[in-house]
């Protein structure tokens, strides 16, 4: 990549890929690299590692290094930016990951607040300053999730931006300020707001600029078409195109949430079932993995309700 990632180009549906684990629960690096390369070749705006789907919470540091390096190298080989998720349960742990991300040339880092014990209000900015400094003040994304036990207020987001001008993007999930219409409008005045594509119809008109996306590697052609509608402000066309996507998510929640699926299981399942991701289905234990039977069930639903999602 050439040049620094800016707020103007830190947009669109970035692929938050699941990790490829082999039968021994070790990284299948060749399969993971193939998945990153395939996303880049499909035209995704960027790829990132170390989100919840990327199972940062289930990785040792050496595994984090391998996944981060593979992500950055494959993205740069294809002329795409790479973001590395650096979330950990301490400042030292997150800063260590951020320093490694900087050393391998990541174009941005992403971090959530430490998630085991709630972070005190007066420690939010110092924590993010330390992580940012370790990353050489690369572009920063905050992963806003209630799993961190604290949602930042709009004033806290502003305080971070005042302290860290390199804070460019907030990944906003349910229960956080950026996932509401008024909050998205206010937050997007100074950082890019990323939300699930299922929220684009509601929050695109209020300033949402992209997604830390799983759907983009379920079917990049459809995901990129959704992004073009958002970018062009074609809200009626976007709502129409989102209708089957929202119905798909309803089906996934109704059918697989009772089976104990978490983010990684859903996204392994959907990427494999649609025919796009060349990776195994495994998630790290003790978390649930999808099965070949789950894949066939989802394909059957898609053939009846959303055939365009499946690869030809």
Domain annotation covers residue 303: no
Q: Which domain holds residue 182?
A: 12-233
Residue 269 domain-assigned (yes or no): no
Q: Is residue 253 part of a domain?
A: no
pLDDT tens for each residue of the chain, 312 residues long: 556 899 999 999 999 999 999 999 999 999 999 999 999 999 999 999 999 999 999 999 999 999 999 999 999 999 999 999 999 999 999 999 999 999 999 999 999 999 999 999 999 999 999 999 999 999 999 999 999 999 999 999 999 999 999 999 999 999 999 999 999 999 999 999 999 999 999 999 999 999 999 999 999 999 999 999 999 999 999 999 999 999 999 999 999 999 999 999 999 999 999 999 999 999 999 999 999 999 999 999 999 999 999 987
User: Total domain count for the chain?
Assistant: 1
Q: How far apart are CA 48 and CA 107, in angstroms?
A: 10
Does any domain span residue 279? Answer: no
- Classify residue 202: in a domain, yes or no: yes
Give the pLDDT of residue 4: 81
Cα–Cα distance measured from residue 295 to residue 65, given in angstroms and rounded to the nearest whole number: 30
Domain membership flag for residue 127: yes
- Show Cβ contacts of residue 278 under 8 Å, excluding neighbours closer than 6 positions: 31, 34, 35, 38
pTM: 0.96
The answer to whether 200 and 213 are in contact (CB under 8 A) is: no
Nearest in space to 108 (alpha carbons), one of 71, 72, 138, 133: 138
- Residue-averaged pLDDT of the chain: 96
State the pLDDT at residue 162.
98
Q: Where residue 103 sits, what CATH number does that domain have?
A: 3.20.20.70
In a domain, 40, yes or no: yes
Q: Is residue 284 part of a domain?
A: no
- Encoded tokens for 203: 């929050």
Which region, left, alpha or beta, applies to residue 120 given φ > 0 means left and ψ of -120 to 50 means alpha? beta
């Amino acid at each position: 990549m050439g040049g620094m990632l800016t707020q103007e180009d830190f947009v669109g549906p970035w692929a938050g890929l699941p990790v490829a684990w082999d039968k021994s629960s070790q990284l299948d690096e060749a399969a993971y690299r193939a998945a990153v390369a395939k996303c880049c070749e499909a035209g995704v705006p960027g790829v990132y590692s170390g989100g919840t789907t990327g199972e940062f919470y289930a990785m040792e540091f050496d595994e984090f290094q391998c996944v981060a390096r593979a992500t950055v190298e494959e993205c740069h080989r294809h002329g795409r930016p790479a973001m590395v998720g650096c979330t950990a349960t301490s400042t030292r742990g997150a800063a260590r990951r951020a320093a490694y991300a900087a050393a391998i040339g990541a174009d941005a880092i992403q971090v959530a607040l430490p998630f085991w014990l709630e972070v005190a209000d007066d420690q939010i900015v110092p924590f993010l300053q330390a992580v940012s400094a370790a990353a050489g003040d690369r572009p920063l994304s905050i992963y806003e999730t209630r799993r961190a036990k604290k949602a930042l207020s709009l004033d806290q987001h502003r305080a971070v931006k005042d302290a860290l001008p390199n804070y460019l993007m907030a990944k906003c999930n349910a229960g956080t300020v950026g996932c509401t219409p008024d909050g998205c409008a206010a937050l997007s005045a100074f950082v890019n707001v990323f939300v699930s594509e299922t929220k684009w119809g509601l929050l695109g008109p209020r300033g949402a600029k992209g997604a830390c996306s799983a759907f983009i590697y379920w079917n990049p052609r459809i995901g990129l078409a959704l992004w073009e509608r958002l970018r062009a402000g074609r809200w009626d066309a976007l709502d129409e195109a989102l209708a089957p996507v929202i119905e798909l998510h309803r089906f996934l929640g109704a059918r697989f949430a009772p089976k104990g699926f978490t983010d990684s299981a859903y996204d392994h399942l959907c990427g494999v079932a649609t025919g796009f991701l060349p990776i195994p289905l495994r998630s790290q234990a003790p978390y649930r993995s999808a099965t070949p039977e789950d894949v066939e069930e989802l394909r059957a639903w898609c053939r009846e309700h959303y055939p365009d999602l499946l690869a030809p």
